[in-house]
Amino acid sequence: MNDRVTVVIRGLEVFGRHGVFPEERSLGQRFVVDVEMQVAGDAAARTDALGDTIDYGALCDAIAEIVGGEPVALLERLAGLIADRVLQEPLAVGATVTVHKPHVALRHTVAEAAVTLHRERG
């Protein structure tokens, strides 16, 4: 079988200090992260065992550490760091990460800036 399961984390809110400008790093702001993970196989659908899938509670903790940790300039970099962490999960074969920056400092009024990155296990 070539079945796959998609595990989704949507709307993880974490305070971080990312951005190009010094004010963004000194003041910080809320970031919102969405992650879709492709899991190899569908064993958990048959076994009902946490070990046969991705523990999204533990993964949320790891993502929160990344977002709340060392500042980076670009949302693309932050999304890449998160995708790399997701792909450290043994059963993860692909990850789509969207990082939302709701209070982006622009001359124009926008609801948010966001970056979506898709990465697969190579």
Active site residues: 101
**Do 89 and 119 touch, CB atoms closer than 8 A?**
no
For residues 76 and 80, what is the distance between their CA atoms, to the nearest angstrom? 6
- Burial classification of residue 86, based on how many CB atoms lie within 10 Å of its CB (0-12 exposed, 13-18 middle, 19 or more buried): buried
Beta strands in 17-81 (DSSP E): 29-40
